[in-house]
Structures are given as structure tokens and as C-alpha cells.
Structure 1
């Protein structure tokens, strides 16, 4: 029987945007926390670590402040050095309803030296005791438009780095969303007139920026219609792409 790990959580004030809705950054932190708690609870053997390479998130509905959630994580598949992990968020009082948010990550297993390593069989048996399952097929990563992007800059701060002294995955998402709003502001779009609710987020982590690194964030906005927009972004350090993302958002113009 597949292993599932769950915990309850109430959405906090500091996890929401100015529209009192849970942010993508906060949900990525939920994913990190529950995956870490699952690993600790499983008491895994070995000295290896996990490094996220890609994250896909689907938002079925916005989640307001103080909502009580049931968060769930589980193993999906394992290959020689990679694994897929799933995540779901539901209303705590409706644990059998459709998820409000569903996600999955592709992880690489690394040894104590930081090199990719074979995943121990004992670890696979913890999450999939009945044997391996076929991995889900990740879609090809969308290419950004060929036109010149809009750009902004940032520096990796102390609060952005994690236990491995890399820029935390959630800090990457936060930097991308802040860069998007810098772009919107240049076009007269402000939080007091417009809100964007996330529908989908696809993030690929290619390299790990470190403390003090200067980063260039490139953004391309593609309106699909009056309400749905697609945002392509890249984080670049000295000409090399560190991370890239493609997200889809629903736009709402606030009425006075």
C-alpha cells in the first residue's frame, strides 16, 4: 500500500497577498515542509539529500486567509537517481473532496558530496512497498517568446538561502512574482486596481544561486484573452539561466 503523509495547517496572515489569498510562494513552502516532515517521520537510511529539479502546480481555486487545510504528500515514482513526489491541499473538513491545489516535483538524489547517486532500494520501499510505478510524463517545458523580454534585477539575500546555502526554491518563486509585478507597474497595472490569481505554475530549477549573487530576471507576458495571461520568466546569472518558469494567471480588474 502506498505511503501517504498528511498534516493540518491553517493559512496564516503572512502567507497571503494583499487580496487575503494564499500565494504560490507560501504553497511551495508548504510542499517543502511536508516533504521534510515525511522524510523525518519515515526515518530513512543513508546520508543522501534530495534536490528539486522541476515543480508543477495546479490551482483549482483560490484559498483565503485562515482556511483550515489538510495537506498530503506521497511518492509517485522512482528511477535510478530521480523520484516524483505528489502533493495535495484540501479543505480540512472535506478531506475526500477534489484538491484545491495539486502539485508534483521531480527530485534528484545526491550523496554527501553533492553528486547524483543511486536511490537506495530501502528508500523506494518506504513509499512504494508494493513495487515501483511508472513515472508521470512531464510535458516539454514551454519556450519563451522570441521578442526581447522585460528585465529586473535582484540579489540573493541571507533570508533567501536554505540549509544547503542555495537560494531556496520558494525564494525563487517569490523573486519571479516580484519581478512580474515590477513589469506590471511599468504598464500602469497596480495591486490596488488589478489582481492575478494563479492557475498553473511550472518551474525548472537548473542551477543554484548562492548568497550575494546578482540575478537578472527576464519576463515575457502573453495575454491569451481579456482574463487569462501566460507569463514566461527566466532567472539569469552572468548570462547563464539558473531557473525558468511558465505560469498562467486569471486577471481581475477591481471595480471602485
Structure 2
């Protein structure tokens, strides 16, 4: 039987957006935290570090502030240098057993210099004692749209960085969402006129951003947001001509009728 590690989180006031919903970046921090707690619980050997390469999150519904979430994480697959984790979060008071948020992430094991390294012997067997399984393949990222993107800029702050002295994975998502809201506001879309909720977030990290660097955020839409419709947002985080991260997220603009049900 595969190992599972469980932990309880309560969505705090400061983890919610202006609608009172848990933000995607806050849930990414839960994912990061429970993975670290799991590794600490088993006293994982080795002196390397884990960094996230790609994360996919599916949101079945918005999570309100102060909601108690029962969360679990487990190993899905391993190679010599990567580990794929699964995550499921359930509302503790829900009458059904379906997760309100489900996710998976591909982690890369690196040495103290940040270079990929082989995991300590026996690491995969801790989570998958019945034998190794390869990570589930993800669909290739689509190429960037050919039309001209909307652009914003951002300077990496001290609070964006982590122990590896680079921009934390959750901070990228905050930057992407804030960049998108700059574009919405230019178009006359405000929190008073639109309730936008995430349905899926897929983000791939390619290079590291460092403290003080100026980044350019490029954003495209398959169809520009409209009331009552879903839309897909494509984004890239750039440093000069280098793509540091790219993301594809799907959102729903709720109408006044269904907003009352959230």
C-alpha cells in the first residue's frame, strides 16, 4: 500500500481574495508545506533539495475563507532524479468524499549547487513499497499564441524568495494573477462587476528568477473574458528573451445568478 501523509489546513483570512475564496497561490503553499512535512516525518536521508518543475491543479469549486480542509499527499511515480506527488483536499464538513481540489506536481532533486542529482537509495520505496512506478506523463505545453500579448512588468521582492534564494513557485502564481488583473481593469473588468474563479492551473518552471530582477509578464487569452463563460489564459514570465515560467489556466466568470451559489 502506498504511503499517504495527511494534514489539516484552515483557509485563513489573508489567504483569500476579495471574493473570500482561497487563492491558487495559497493552495500551492499548502502543497509545498505538506510535502515538506511528509519528508520531515519520514526523516528523508540526503543533503539535497527538492524544487518543483511542473504543477497541475484542478478546482472543483471555490474554497471559502475559514473552511477546514483535510489534505493528503502521496507518491505517484519516480525516476532517478524526479518524484511526482499527488494531492487531494476535502472539505471536512462535506457530505461526500470527492476532493474539492486535486493536484499533482513533478519535483526534481538537486544538490547544494542546484544541479539535478540522484535521489538517495530507497527513496521511491518509501512511498511505493510495492515497486517503482514511472511518473504519469503530462500533455506537452502548447506553444505561445502568435498574436501580440498584453504585457506587465514586475521586480522580484525579498518576500518572493525562498531557501534556494530564488523566486518561490507560489510567488510566480501571485505575479501571474496580479498581471492578469491589471489587464482586466484596463478593460473595465473589476471585482465589483465580475467574480472570476479558477477551474484549472497548469504551470511549468523552466529557470529561476532572483531577488531584484525585473520580469516581463506576457498574457494571452483564447477568448477575452465574458460574463457567464469560461476562458483560458496563457502566460509567460520572461527575463529578457528567456522564458522562466509558463502557465495555462482556465477560469469562469460567474453571472449574478450563479454567483449567489458560491
Q: TM-score, normalised by structure 2?
A: 0.94
| Cα distance between partner residues in 2 of 1:218 and 1:112 | 32
How far off its partner does 1:237 sit?
0.4
Change (3 A) 1:134 1:94: farther
Query: Once structures 1 and 2 are overlaid, which stretch shifts more, 166-175 or 120-129?
Result: 120-129
What's the counterpart of residue 20 of structure 2?
A: 20
How far off its partner does 1:143 sit?
2.2
What's the counterpart of residue 252 of structure 2?
A: 250
Unaligned runs of at least 5 residues, structure 2 = 258-262
What's the counterpart of residue 34 of structure 2?
A: 34
Query: Once structures 1 and 2 are overlaid, which stretch shifts more, 121-130 or 86-95?
Result: 86-95
What's the counterpart of residue 153 of structure 2?
A: 153
What's the counterpart of residue 205 of structure 2?
A: 205
How far off its partner does 1:254 sit?
4.6
Q: Which of these residues, 237, 241, 244, is aligned with residue 243 of structure 2? A: 241
Query: Once structures 1 and 2 are overlaid, which stretch shifts more, 190-199 or 89-98?
Result: 89-98
How far off its partner does 1:121 sit?
2.6
C-alpha contact (below 8 Å) 1:192/1:254 kept by paired residues: no
Runs of 4+ in 1 over 6 A off after TM superposition: none
Computed over aligned residues only, the root mean square deviation of the Cα atoms, in angstroms, reads 1.5
For this pair of structures, how many residues does the alignment match? 255
Unaligned runs of at least 5 residues, structure 1 = none
C-alpha contact (below 8 Å) 1:45/1:122 kept by paired residues: no
| Cα distance between partner residues in 2 of 1:96 and 1:111 | 42
| Cα distance between partner residues in 2 of 1:20 and 1:96 | 23
Query: Once structures 1 and 2 are overlaid, which stretch shifts more, 91-100 or 79-88?
Result: 91-100
